[in-house]
Amino acid sequence: MTLRNRLARAPILVAPGVYDGLTALLAAQAGFEALYLSGAAVAYTKLGRPDIGLSTMSEMADTMALIRDRVDLPVIIDADTGFGNALNARRTMTVYERAGANALQVEDQGYPKRCGHLADKSLIPATEMAGKIAAMADARNSRDTLIIARTDAIAVEGFQAAVDRAGLYLEAGADALFIEAPRSVDELRAICATFRGRVPLMANMVEGGATPITSAADLDTLGFSLVIFPGGIVRSLAKAAEEYYASLRATGSNTAFKDRMFDFNGLNERIGTAEMLEMGARFQGGS
């Protein structure tokens, strides 16, 4: 089943955030149907920096290719602003699609861009964003590669402007809409009242962000087709890592932390070490 077909069906699709082959594998093993490759998560983990547009297109594409080498699930990838003008957005589509992405999320922020739940964002003109979407639609190799158009206009121009921009992006060729950082359940409801039945709608749950944390079931009832939890895995692992390093520094051993980590064999089971070694033995010497 394609991602397009899955978004047209109930229930809501839940896509957890991932940032490398290991997190993608663990999410797949947990039973999720799709994954979200978060630009913020890549910035946090690869760079140790905030989500303010520092990650490059090539870094994201390389990460996408490594994830595709490990899992078969549909992957929605953060394409930021398309990394420039319409021609850059067109190239981003080509490179990401070749790396194995099934959907690209592109936004209407200007530079310097930043996380959708940070203050002081700026926007490009809506017509310029519409041109980027049209360029991406023209460049894609397969119609099954989706374009998810994101607008950050709520924080800059207000809620109605965000709805108006989203409508324009739909006309330009977007396959799904993502109105970032609604500030209340009433705004979530209003988004669905406007677009439900016309196009799949995506919601973004960020712990401590501008949007009230809402369960997948409740978002489904409102009318959303897709919900992402992009940075939760990094926040979880960062807290665990901080506590692990503190414990190791204090005790000089992993013993105090052993009940909160995989041992050597446990991790090897998850990543399929025995199966890989068996495969290698089968082909040893060309047999």
Whether the per-residue pLDDT at 116 is higher than 70: the answer is: no
pLDDT recorded at residue 255? 97
Are residue 38 and residue 99 in the same domain, yes or no? yes
Exposed e or buried b for every residue in 176-194, given b needs 16+ CB within 10 A? bbbbbbbeeeebbebbbeb
Q: Which residues contact 33 (CB under 8 A, 6 or more apart)?
A: 6, 13, 14, 15, 73, 74
Please tell me what DSSP assigns to residue 112: S
Residues 227-284 pLDDT 10s:
999 999 999 999 999 999 999 999 999 999 999 999 999 999 999 999 999 999 999 8
pTM (predicted TM-score) = 0.95
Number of domains within the chain = 2
Counting residues of the chain whose pLDDT is more than 70, the rounded percentage is 98
**Whether the Cβ atoms of residue 271 and residue 30 lie closer than 8 Å to each other:** no
What distances in angstroms separate CA 198 from CA 1, 26, 29, 230, one per listed residue?
21, 34, 33, 25
**Whether the Cβ atoms of residue 64 and residue 100 lie closer than 8 Å to each other:** yes
Are residue 172 and residue 249 in the same domain, yes or no? no
Are residue 243 and residue 227 in the same domain, yes or no? no
Are residue 82 and residue 192 in the same domain, yes or no? yes
Residues 183-211 pLDDT 10s:
999 999 999 999 999 999 999 999 988 99
* Confidence grade of residue 111 (pLDDT, cut at 50, 70, 90): confident
Are residue 39 and residue 69 in the same domain, yes or no? yes
Are residue 156 and residue 259 in the same domain, yes or no? no
Question: Structure tokens of 29?
Answer: 């093993």
Apex 102 CA angle, 119 and 122, nearest 5 = 20
C-alpha 99/C-alpha 40 separation (Å) is 19
Are residue 227 and residue 248 in the same domain, yes or no? no
pLDDT recorded at residue 209? 85
- How confident is the prediction for the chain on average, in pLDDT? 95
Are residue 221 and residue 97 in the same domain, yes or no? yes
**Whether the Cβ atoms of residue 206 and residue 230 lie closer than 8 Å to each other:** yes
CATH of residue 114's domain is 3.20.20.60
DSSP assignment of 46-57 equals: IIS--SSS-S-H
Are residue 21 and residue 149 in the same domain, yes or no? yes
Are residue 58 and residue 194 in the same domain, yes or no? yes
Apex 202 CA angle, 112 and 43, nearest 5 = 35
C-alpha 75/C-alpha 101 separation (Å) is 5
Residue the block writes with tokens 């700026």: 122
Domain range spanning residue 188? 3-231
Q: Which amino acid is at 185?
A: V
**Whether the Cβ atoms of residue 223 and residue 196 lie closer than 8 Å to each other:** yes
